[in-house]
Amino acid sequence: MRTIESLGDLRSRTVIVRCDLNVPLSDGVITDDGRIRASLTTIRELRDAGAKIVIISHLGRPKGEPEARYSLKPVAVRMSELLGAPVEFVDQTVGASASAAVGALVDGDVVLLENLRFNAGETSKDDAERRAFAEQLAELGDAFVSDGFGVVHRRQASVYDLAQLLPSAAGRLVAAELEVLQRLTVDPARPYTVVLGGSKVSDKLGVISHLIERVDTLLIGGGMLFTFLAAQGHAVAASLLEQDQLDTVRGYLADAEKRGVRIVLPTDVVVAETFSADAAHEIVPADAIESSSFGDAGIGLDIGPDSATAFADVIASSATVFWNGPMGVFEMEAFAAGTRAVAKALTETEGFTVVGGGDSAAAVRALGFSDDQFGHISTGGGASLEFLEGKQLPGLEVLA
């Protein structure tokens, strides 16, 4: 994969950097700036090299036209603070204002253009439309650095097409993410444990299928655990259940047993009367969820304390741990204990630990953990999972 060094002397050259600045916002306030922080290594290096830097990114899921709630303006403000240098914001991605701002840059200057997805060409399935937008972006720079790991699994204009139009290379964040993922897939240190959570089994089908022959232990939590319990014949009351995945899960359980891979399911769960932060709740055995006071109306919203302890013990004895997906509804304090216990266990093990981006990364920060307590926190949950599924990622292939 081409690196920044392949671009040669960057002094006075205009470098377009595709970052992933898709940060969570609440009423216009950034609630987790982890992705902004992760982008700074490459930006600082390019500034030190004397480049003129044009940052591009998306935020949220606008439908190909401007939406004020998805503006990157708050990101420019926060990036200026973190970088310790001005980051000019332009309320346009391509066009006269963008061209003028880029043309006025001097060596070391940084400008952030408006949300790429305000232009329908960014995510278009039509190759010609996507390419046309990429050509407009390419007119703004002399070289391209791809550093938005969270989007490298997308065949989008700023990720795939732009890299073909300018001299291009991977940024430091993308290179670091790839190195970590290769450690997880090429001769990982053992015992190797993968912790999977989140709401749906269907979201993790590919990664379970691909990893089941590569890991020693799979720990299953989150909403997906109830489909596993149901596949074993247990009633799960009103808990999340993917009925159409039961046969698939039974196949995983049988395959794991044949291969000698342990699949560890919770032995107790926290069951609530309703899906709400202040709902009445109690701890019951995982194989007797309907024995709660709420009967068949009970909803499982977290793994129980015994399960959290068992999961932590497995993590503590592992040499490599990859975690993707919270153990429960961590946004509600009453149902955050399982996720907190797993995060704490990862910070205490001597093994190499990777938090797989997305909700997992948001959870550890929301629960008060810092990035440096883990071996690595990925900036791309979807990209990480697709890599671990063995898929080819267009944004990496184009940099080969």
Annotated binding residue at 357?
yes
Annotated binding residue at 331?
yes
125 is annotated as an active-site residue: no
Annotated binding residue at 60?
yes
Annotated binding residue at 368?
no
Distance of CA 293 to the CA centre of its chain: 37
Annotated binding residue at 300?
yes
- Of the residues 50, 95, 108, 382, which is catalytic? 382
- Of the residues 37, 155, 200, 344, which is catalytic? 200
Annotated binding residue at 122?
no
Rounded Cα distance between 203 and 216, Å, is 21
| Strand order, beta sheet including 52-56 | 88-90, 110-113, 52-56, 14-18, 143-146, 168-170
- Segments in 141-204 forming alpha helices (H): 162-165, 172-185
* Residue with the two structure tokens 């216009």: 28
Annotated binding residue at 117?
yes
- Of the residues 338, 358, 375, 380, which is catalytic? 358
Annotated binding residue at 69?
no
- Of the residues 13, 18, 35, 365, which is catalytic? 35
200 is annotated as an active-site residue: yes
Question: Is the peptide bond between 191 and the residue preceding it cis, with omega within 30 degrees of 0?
Answer: yes
Annotated binding residue at 18?
no
Phi/psi of residue 264, each to 5°?
A: -100, 120
- 53 contacts: CB under 8 Å, gap ≥ 6: 14, 15, 17, 43, 46, 47, 105, 108, 109, 110, 111
35 is annotated as an active-site residue: yes
Question: For 46-94, where are the E strands, in sequence order?
Answer: 52-56, 88-90
28 is annotated as an active-site residue: no
Sign of the four-CA dihedral 323, 328, 329, 333: negative
**Binding site, annotated residues for substrate:** 20-22, 35, 58-61, 117, 154
Report, as residue numbers or ranges, the catalytic residues.
35, 200, 358, 382
Instruction: Write out the binding residues for ATP.
Output: 204, 300, 331, 357-360
Q: Which residues fall in the annotated binding site?
A: 20-22, 35, 58-61, 117, 154, 204, 300, 331, 357-360
